[in-house]
Each structure stands twice: as C-alpha cells, then as structure tokens.
A and B are shown apart, each in its own frame.
Chain A
Amino acid sequence: MELTNYLNAMRDASGVPFYPVVFQFFLVLTFALHIMFVNFLLGGVVVSIWARIKATPNSLRLSKALARGSTINASLAMVLGVAPLLFVQVIYDPFWYTANSMSAYWAMAFLLILAVAFTASYVFYLSGSDKAPGASGWAVLALVALLAAAAVIHALSVEQLLPQMWKTWLISGQEVNASGKGLYAFEWHRFLHFIAPSIAMAGVYLMLYAWFFNGRKDYDRAYLQETATLGANLALYATAAQIAIGLWWLFSVPMEFAFYKNPFFLVGAGMGAAFFLFLMTARANPIKNAPVAALIAFLSIFLMSYAREALRMTYTGKVGYNIFDYKLSLDWGSTVLFLGTFVMGIVVMAYPILVAVQVAKNGKESNNEGLAKLATALPVVWFLVVAGLGIVISLKNGTLF
C-alpha cells in the first residue's frame, strides 16, 4: 500500500457534509482567532513576570492586570482552539489522526501540561494582594508549561506535513512501534515563528489596555502613557524579529515549492511589513493609535494563517492529497443550523460585551434595552425552533414514544 493510497483510503467514508472550501475558511479564521489569544496569553505572561520582578508600584499594577487578563485569555484561547481542531479533522483527517496516534502519549500530555499552565496562572493571579499578583514563580511555571504545550502541538503539526517519513519513524526491522511515545519532528524556525509574535501581540495588548482605560479617573495618565509606550516598543522590536525569523523559515521551506511566489504568502508577508511600518509612526502616540494597530495586527495574523494553510496544501499536494476532491455528502440542514447559530451567536454576544465595555469605560451601563431584549430572547427562540424540529422528526420516524 503506497502513501497516496493510504491517505485517500483513510479519508472518512461519510465524506464531508459541505464544500471543503467552507471548512477551510472557518479553519483559517478560527485558527487566527485562537492563535491571537494564545499570543496574548503567552506574551502577557512574559510581560507580567518582567513587571512583577521590576516591582515598582506602576509595574506591579500592570503585572496584576496582566495576571487577571491571562486567566481570561487562557479560557478564550482554549475555547477558540476547539473550532480549528474540529475543522482540521474534517478535511485533513488522514494527517491529523495518523500524527496523533503515532505520538499518542504526547497528545495526552499536551492537556496535562495545559492544566498545569492554567492552574499556575490562576494561582499567580489569585494568591496576590490588591496591589500585586502572587509570587513570580507561579507565572514562570505557567510560562514554561505554555511553551512546552506549544512545542508539543507544534511537533504534532510538523509530523503531519511529512507523511513520507511516517513509515521510517514507526517501523524498524520487523517491528511496528505502537507505543505512542515518540515525538518525531521539530522545526525551530517554524516554532519561533509562532512564539515571537506573542511579544508583539503583548505589545498591542498593552496599547489596547492603555487606550481602553484612558480617561478613567482611577487610571493615572502617566501610568497609561508609560504602558502604551512600552507596548509600542515591544510590538515594534518583536515584529522586526518576527520578519527575520519569517525569512529564515521561508528559506527552509523546500525550494521546489517556490513558496516565496505564493500569493497567500506574499499578501500575508506584505501585511506583516505594513504592521511594522505602521508601528514606526504609531510610536509617537501609542494610545491613540492602539485600535488601528490591533486591527492591522489581526489582519496580519489572519493572512499569515492563510499562508500557513497554503503551505499545508503545498506539502499535502506533493503526496497526492487534495482537500477539494473530498467526497461530498451535502447536508444543507445542518449547515444552515450552524451558519444561523453563528450569526445569532454574534448578536447575542454583542450585548454582554457592550455592557462590559460601557461599565469599564464609563463606570455604568447606558440604555441598551432593544439589544438586551433581543439577546435574551434569541437563545430561547433557538431552542424552540430546534425542539420543534426535533419533535416533528421524532414523530415522523416514530422514535418519540
């Protein structure tokens, strides 16, 4: 059985319930959102350690704010990570399942390591006083664990890109290794290319923080200015480093891929460069420029995520795999269910977020009566519609009684 046959034979017999390009789009979009919060989390922990150790009143205050933010970023990063995890299994299942099965203990360890990281970041936040977070050792533990988790998931991803190596890794002589203990691939440049942006994104995060609380009486101006300037500098220098690492990675991609000519890559890289140039000028007034910086940063991440996907398509295309010829078993019903729920979710979410922003900025909420009513009613309506559908179908199929 040769590799291409294996890959295509392992594709799920059920096919995919909608056009692969749609799954691919959601895969990239949700991955970009996920990695952005991972960056906020990782970078935030780094800065909070530094600020905790520096131990001036302002830096302790910042450290505390970041520690609290880390717990929220952790939750968001995790829940946002679920979606790309789901979609990758839809269109790249032969790669995903093979790599995970080969390194099964690592896939399990990944979660255990994350549990350590999250616990440590909670302890760091909760064990402190009003003015400072807990001992920096906790944050260091969280950082080490987060990096370890990143390394594992990185290795699992690279294993997927090298299917021609799989047999070499698993088979030696007459033995097939079924221990699940091996971790087989690691690429420093690629790994660093995911880690370095954390510092840049922590910079953006600090700028946003200063922008957000700017004008509130309990936040003094000098503190916010100092924070935003720190943020802009971090973002600028880390982005410069990121560009260098990106070039290093680019040259390590097999030349035959001609990836430097790939339009997805060019657009993504262009956006990254634009971010760098913008930061050069934005440094003069980092508080005011924060929202635009955040927007450009997210666009760079999103486009780079598309470039990452284009690279995956190139790698998998080399071994005769193409997501666009996946067997299609169109299912409109469930597709509409998701898309409708997705849009509804955005509307519902807008309400609590709006309230939170109003409270944080002005100390009190404004009048949101219309949105409030809509947001509280929609989940109930959702349930009534789905339950109604369920009852009709159950009666039709005779499964209710």
Chain B
Amino acid sequence: MGIMSVPSTTPRPAAANSVWPRLEPLLPQVTKPIQYVGGELGAVVKDWDTAAVRWALMYPDAYEVGLPNQGVQILYEVLNELPDVLAERTYAVWPDLEKLMRAHGVPQFTVDAHRPVRDFDVFGVSFSTELGYTNLLTAIDLAGIPLLAADRTDADPVIVAGGHAAFNPEPIADFVDAAVLGDGEEAVLEITTIVREWKAEGSPGGRDELLLRLARTESVYVPRFYDVDYLPDGRIQRIVPNRPDVPFRVHKRTTMDLDAWPYPKKPLVPLAETVHERYAVEIFRGCTRGCRFCQAGMITRPVRERSITTVGQMVQQGLEFSGFHEVGLLSLSSADHSEIGDMCSGLAQQYEGTNVSLSLPSTRVDAFNIDLAQELSRNGRRTGLTFAPEGGSERIRKVINKMVSKEDLIRTVVTAYTNGWRQVKLYFMCGLPTETDADVLEIADMAHEVIRAGRAATGSKDIRCTVSIGGFVPKPHTPFQWASMERPEVIDHRLKLLKQAINADRSLGRAIGFRYHDGEPSLIEGLLSRGDRRVGAVIRRVWENGGRFDGWSEHFSYQRWVDAAAEVLPAFGVDLDWYTIRERDELEVLPWDHLDSGLDKDWLWQDWQDALVEYEQDDCRWTPCFDCGVCPSMDTEIQIGPTGRKLLPLTPVNGLKVPTAAPQ
C-alpha cells in the first residue's frame, strides 16, 4: 500500500481578461460545477496578447457530450499547433448557470482560460445535429453578441458554423456570419490566414470586407451575400448572390490523405464524467454503401482510408498520452476498412494483457465475422455490439438501399453470441418512405428469430437483444431530401403495434428490450434539417420562450415548437406540415441547392426514383463508379488499401514513468 498527499487545487494564475473571479463564486450553486473549470489534460492555454488570430470553438451541447467530440478536438489541436494562433473551447451551460450568469453579468466563457467569447476573432460552432440551434442562440446572447448577424459590428467575432448540419445552414442563416461545408482541417487554416492578413493590414473595410474575403474562397458560405426570393405559393423561386464578387455556389471541403492529418494526437481527458472516455481514431472518412437516408454517407464521399500503420501509431501515442484504456475505431462503417482484420488482430496482440479494449462503434452486419469477434473480445472485455439493419422487411431495406438479408443478420448475431456476447443491440428506423405497418412488424419476427437462433446455438437462455428504434428524418443532400415525413401519431401507433408483436411471445419477448424515440422530436428535427431562412424565426421564438437543450428529451418541448411555428410561419404563407409531411417535386428549388456537396442533383433524383421501385445501388469501392458526381466535381478520388503492411507487437514498457527533468 502507498499513501499520498494531493492538494486538490492550487489556484491557476488567471488570464488578464479572465471571468474566473466572477464565475468561481457562482459554481458552488450549480450542478456538476467541474464541467466549467477546464484544466483537462490536453487543454492548451496560450498568451492572449501575442496571438495574431484567436478562435473560440463550441460544441453546442453540455460539456459531457461536447468534450469527446472529435471534430472540435481536431480543430482545437490543428489551430493551437500554429505558434501565433490561439484556440479555446466553450460548451453550452446548463440553465442553472445561465440564470446566475445573467444575474451577475458573467458572459459566455471558454473553459480553457475563462475568457469572454466576445473577445475572440472567430467563434466556430460545430453542429452534428440541428437540435443544437437553440443552444447557439443562448451562447451568442450570453456572450453579449447581437443575435442577428446583421446587427454585429467590428467588435464582435465572426460566427462560423461547421459540422454536418452546416450542409444546410439556412435555418440559422440570420444568426451566423458564415458556414463551412465539409472537412475542417484545411478550412480553419485557410480562414485563419485570411483573418491574420486582414488584421495585419489594419482591418480594411471592417467586417464586410473580411466576410467578402472569406466568401471569395468559394468554400465559405456567407448567407448575407445571398438573397432568397419566394414564389406566391411559398416555395423558393431562387437563391442568388446580391453582389457581383461572390460565387453562385459554395463548395464543400474534402481533406485528402488522412495519414497526413493524424489528429487528435493529444486527446482531451475530461475531469468530469462524459459520454465517452476512450481514445477514438477515425480509420476512414466517407462511405459509399449508399444508404439512402444517410446524410453522413452522402456528404463525406469519397472513401478515404487511414493506413493501418498510421492508425497503429496514433493508437500507441494517443493511449500513452491520455491513459485511456478503450480504443474506438471510428468511421461510418468500421468493418469496411480494407485492412480491418489485420488492424484489429494487430492491436489486440499489441495490447494483450493490458486491460485495453477495442470497440467498433459502427459495424455493418455483412462485414462482421468470427475473426473480428474474437479479436474484439481478446482482452476479456466485450464492449457493446450494435448492428443496424435499419429496416424490418426485405422490401424496405431495398428502398433504403441497406442490403443486408435476414439470414446474414441472424448468422452475424449468432456469431456474436457464440463468441461470448450476451447482449446485442439492433437498430431500426421507423417512418421511412413507403413504409407500412407490416414493414415495421417484421422487426418483431427478426428479433424473435435472433433470440431463438441464439438460444439454439449457445444452449443458454441467458442471451438478450435490444431493439432500438429511431425516427426517420429526411436530410438535405440525400436521395430522400424530397420525401414526405410521416405524422408523429402514425409513428407512435406503429411503435405500439410493434411492442405488442414483440411481447406476443412471452418467452422470447422477455429476452428482448425495446427502446424508441417518439415521433414528435423527429418531426421537429425534420423541420430544422430541411428548413429555409424563414425557419430561423421559429427557432428564435422557441428560444425566447425558453427552449434549450432540444437534444435532451427532458428539456425538449414539442408543444413549444408547434406553438412557435403556428405563431410565425403563417405570415410567410407556410406551416409546420409544409416543411415536414409535404413531398417535394423534382423541379422545386431546395434551400441548399446553392451549396455544393459534390452530389449531382440529377443523380440524387434518379436514386430517389430507384428507391421507390426498390432498386438497389452498388458500392463504388468494389464496382465501377456510378457517377454520383462527387469525385469529378470535387477533384477527389477513392483512397483505400490494402497496404499489405502489418502491425508489429510493441515492446511493452513497464514500470513507473518518472519525468527525467522534474517540472518546476
């Protein structure tokens, strides 16, 4: 036994513009105050005065969700590696602290050095979901920045939105100054260069000139430079630049050669509990499986693999730096990596006997096999396994182009059971285009058969599966962008029928867990994802009426959104239904048509027609290119292995890691 003495805090010297002295007294009065103190391993605090360009980066959700976010961590590190650039992080504060901050005049702050967000040059916000929009408004307002981009002055930072939701930033066009589509690594460097030069020149032309310079890159969208005209029936007539020197279309960014961007190198290690405490490394970006509902797969094309050797190196350094004992091999469909087998067995071998476990967050049924199952469980711990057939019937899986057969699924799940897993999660969607009650009820059959086959194969009654159902939300830049949504009542009714069907067999039903989201939040997500600039007024009204943390069921209020929509939309001659359950036709101008994800709109329309006749599309990694449009328009190409290299076992380093030079 050893005993030691650790003082829990020694005061950190406060930065000159730090709000810490005013914030600290408020913290004892709020829940989980540790989330606001910063000081994590991997956090960087730089000198304010010598920085030429200063970024505040936000994930607009609670610290526990936002901190593990890869996108923000990557950009934070890329920016802070530049000697004359400073990047700090800020997250959404919970309503208890928001109230106190308002009462005591404490502005939105960064957790790194507790500096006011308004003092920064650029305020970058990462949206992986649209449900963070109300939290954006809270942050802008708490920061003391005018809510409307049009009201801002040279004293305010430029607010830039990024992440997947930024592929249609129209609903927040009034509140952000700019949006970046696609990969951020090079985009933030380019923005930094422009801001640095503009400041060095003495900020000529003020804010307008800076935004113009950003817009001229053709990959930063500045909404104020575009006008939207509407037809009498409410549809969009056109979206066109309102000045001669900005591009008609803004293009997405694609970072090629992921081996050249091995981030995060120094992952943030939270002091407070978060949703994920693991070292995550993206093993590839992009996915061409072509699931028609999947925005992520459509907008991140083409597939770019990170090589097995770079992944091995990143894992080694990342674990050493962070002390994490779980490694997540992240991507949109991790088992599809051309060298996934060697990667998993190599890593399992390297970390044999060390408590380090591996997980594959997104695994396709058809790519999972016994070898992989064994490698994942080699170190004794079995992290959860989730498979996503998405659709209950063979027919609906053809509509969505998720080509897994029931036999494949059962075989895969049984593999997992016979390899020691006792619990498997199956993920489905409800409300898909052309879906009927019968399609959804087949989920029950599938779950029953999984349990039956699992019991037969293992001879044990001690196996379970959880059926988890999410509501379908049509997303921009997908073949389903024209689709109508189902009403929440219909969704809820189908889920009720499904639950009854699962429990119709008592013995099997007992081994099946059932989790679902109601139809209501999905409908609102649908409003936000396919919304146009007029939806901004709804977001604002909801926020004014107290809307916060809409991604959290305990904070989300459907009624508040319905009421706000009913209040503001009729003035534009449209309503909530118009945005959600209305099917669009081929010629309608969509709010994001001027934003170029590389996908050819005609190809998307054809794929939508193919969906309706249940015609499947192949994967361009293994079959010839089918001209989705991305590679030629973005000047990109598929980058996949195999490289044929293997991971060599590491020489284990044992013993205490005592620093050579004692830190002062």
Q: Do A and B come from one complex?
A: no
